A and B are shown apart, each in its own frame.
Chain A
Amino acid sequence: MISELVAWLTDPAHWSGPEGIPQRLLEHLGYSLLALAIAALIGIPLGMYIGHTGRGTFLVAGLANALRALPTLGLLILVTLPLISRLPGNLGFLVPSIAVLVVLAVPPILTSTYAGVQGVDLAAKDAAYGMGMTGQEVLTKVEAPCALPLVFSGLRSAMLQIVATATIAAYVGLGGFGRYVLDGLAVRDYSQMLAGAVLVAALAVVVEVVLAGAQRLTVPRGLAVGARESRSR
């Protein structure tokens, strides 16, 4: 099995053309990044607002957790069937696929953002207000930077789920690494299936490493998780 997998992965025919690994990688990354960007645009501002004001915590936490329980493939088909005839061209497949990935990714981003903002040291917030900062300034200059490590951890876990789940886009005729898994399954070509699964896992690891690097670069040094731990010790 392993040698067949290696043979499949090293076959030059699988590295070029519209069904080659580079093309599938671009598709898979494309769906994943688009979904992550949309989910971040929804999750981070909403999480900041809730964390800052404390309003709607109960409602949003409940809703976010309920969203996590939705079966993604079922949701995909449910969303695809009505949209397929209403949207032109590939959008009928693309919009539902991205939408379900967004639904999957918003909860971890949203919950970790509001938890991050809410968890900011009360003393720091008091000090900021004491210096005469407005609510908005406290949010952008104190709470948001302090919440960054947790926001990043939300983004990372969201991206991990997106990359793994973007395979289902293949179910409605789109590309990505899921093609190898589904097409392999359809013709009992298990080395192709396994190659698809391995590629998804490898991509997830690479993306995780890249995001961890981004976190290192953007989070202020004093707030980095390691720094905080060593300080509190």
Chain B
Amino acid sequence: MSFTRAILAALTVGVLALAGCGSGNDPLREDTEQQNTSESGDSIIVGSANFPEAVLLGEIYAAALEAHDVDVQRKLNIGAREAYIKALEDGSIDLVPEYTGVLLQYFDKEATAAKPDEVYAALQEAVPDEFMVLEKSSAEDKDAVVVTRETAEKYDLKTIADLAPHAKDLVLGGPPEWKTRPTGVPGLKEVYGAEFKSFIPLDVAGPVTVAALKGGRVDAANLFTTQSAIEQNDFVVLEDPKLLFTAQNVVPLISKDKASETVVDTLNGISAKLDTPTLRDLVARVEVDKEDPATVAKDWLTENGLA
């Protein structure tokens, strides 16, 4: 046991030392390069996480910046947050579309803010000095309680609060972690007084959940607000007036030395126009209709006079 621990400790120290070398050397070298290029005009490398919505948002940023004569390079579809924040740190990307709630959680594990403005304010404090977040968009990709159109009409549901008095007759479906998570079954009970007849653990907003809700096996289910299945099946997203679910507004995260006036104005212009239903439509075109994210991004920008 102690032998394995010693090996583990040695390995950890080794890896940390290596990581230290990496992050110590690269930014310095990249910094000088970056200054050289930024003096000769705006240039920016756009990255994104590896899921369709993130790639689409990356394309939207990239195409809008190109339309404003910024020299844009795309490095989309990189990977998980751990990977692309590293890339942002070492200067291999400069800009990435993010979500306020999860990004705050990434920089500050103890963060408790849930309301959009509070999360955004806390996030501005929490981002490391070399980065900044620009204006947040009203578009959110966050957890939601979703019902079918029939259920919504039958009980006249608009918000989760409307659901509470009928919850005892309804079955809730969601990922297994909802059973114990504060933003799951316990939170629905505590914040809204909604005690469901039963909870059925399904997949994480995947095909089984969608099929179970559509087929009436569950009456309400956890999906994400921009998920294309909502549009496809005419589901109703119940509003969350008491903000049980942490805000997840789309927000550009950018290296400070790349945030020129043109870049900032262009990206803020996008955030001002983008909202959740719009984003859901655009994501559906990519995910369901299999359109090229670049085309979808350009169409939307043109329609809104942003490119």
Interface residues of A (CB under 8 A from B): 77, 80-81, 84-86, 89, 92-93, 170-173, 179, 182-183, 185-187
Query: Which of the four size classes fits the interface of chain B?
Result: 10 to 19
A186 vs B185: C-alpha distance in the bound complex, in angstroms? 14
Say whether B176 contacts A172, CB under 8 Å: no
A171 touches B208 (CB 8 A): yes
| Contact between A171 and B203, CB atoms less than 8 A apart | yes
Cα of A173 to Cα of B213 in the assembled complex, Å: 13
Q: Are A170 and B201 in contact (CB under 8 A)?
A: yes
Considering residues B176, B207, B216, which has the most beta carbons from chain A within 10 angstroms of its beta carbon? B176
Contact B212 A84 (CB under 8 A): yes
Does B290 sit at the interface, judged by CB under 8 A? no
Knowing A85-B216, A92-B217, the reply to whether A187 touches B181 (Cβ < 8 A) is yes
CB pair A93–B217 under 8 Å, yes or no, is yes
Tell me whether A187 and B211 are in contact (CB under 8 A): no
Q: Does B175 contact A (CB under 8 A)?
A: yes
- Residue contact B176 to A182, C-beta cutoff 8 Å: yes
Q: How long is the Cα–Cα vector from A92 to B217 in the complex, in angstroms?
A: 8
8 residue pairs, one from A and one from B, having the closest CB atoms: A85-B215, A186-B177, A186-B176, A173-B200, A84-B215, A183-B176, A84-B211, A81-B211
Q: Can you sample 6 A-B contacts with CB below 8 Å? A: A81-B207, A92-B215, A173-B201, A173-B208, A173-B217, A183-B177
A-contact 0/1 string along B168-186, CB 8 Å cutoff = 0000010111011100000
User: Does the CB pair B208–A186 fall under 8 Å?
Assistant: no
Q: Which of A81, A173, A183 gathers the greatest number of chain B CB atoms within 10 Å?
A: A173
Cα separation A69 to B31 with both chains bound (whole Å): 54
Please encode chain B, from 201 to 226, with 1 for each CB lying within 8 Å of some chain A CB and 0 for all others.
11100011001101111000000000
Secondary structure at the B interface, as helix, strand, loop or mixed, is mixed
Q: How far is the CB of A67 from chain B (nearest CB, A)?
A: 23
User: Is A84 within 8 A of B177, CB to CB?
Assistant: no
Q: How many A-B contacts if CB must be within 8 Å?
A: 53
Chain A: minimal CB distance from B217 (Å): 5
Q: How far is the CB of B82 from chain A (nearest CB, A)?
A: 16
Bound-state Cα–Cα, A81 to B217, Å: 12
CA A171 – CA B176 in complex, angstroms? 9
Most chain A Cβ neighbours within 10 Å, of B173, B177, B180: B177
**Given A77-B207, A85-B211: A183 and B217 interface contact (C-beta under 8 Å):** no
Residue from B173, B180, B207 in contact with A173 in the complex, judged by beta carbons closer than 8 Å: B173
Check A81/B208 contact, CB under 8 A, given A93-B217, A171-B203, A173-B201.
yes
Q: Could you say which residues of chain A place their CB within 8 Å of the CB of B180?
A: 187
Cβ-defined contact, B211 with A186, below 8 A = no
CA distance A171 to B201 in the complex (A): 8
Known A-B contacts: A77-B208, A86-B215. Give 16 more (CB < 8 A).
Answer: A77-B207, A81-B208, A81-B211, A84-B211, A84-B212, A84-B214, A85-B214, A92-B212, A92-B215, A171-B208, A173-B200, A179-B176, A182-B176, A183-B201, A185-B176, A186-B201
Alpha-carbon distance A186/B176, docked complex (angstroms): 6
B177 close to A172 (CB less than 8 A) = no
Residue in chain B with minimal CB distance to A76? B208
| Smallest Cβ-Cβ distance to B216: which chain A residue | A85
**Cα–Cα distance between A66 and B102 once the two chains are bound (Å):** 44
| Chain A residue with Cβ nearest B203 | A171
Return the CB mask of B79-102 against A: 1 if under 8 Å, else 0. 000000000000000000000000
Chain A residue with Cβ nearest B173 = A173
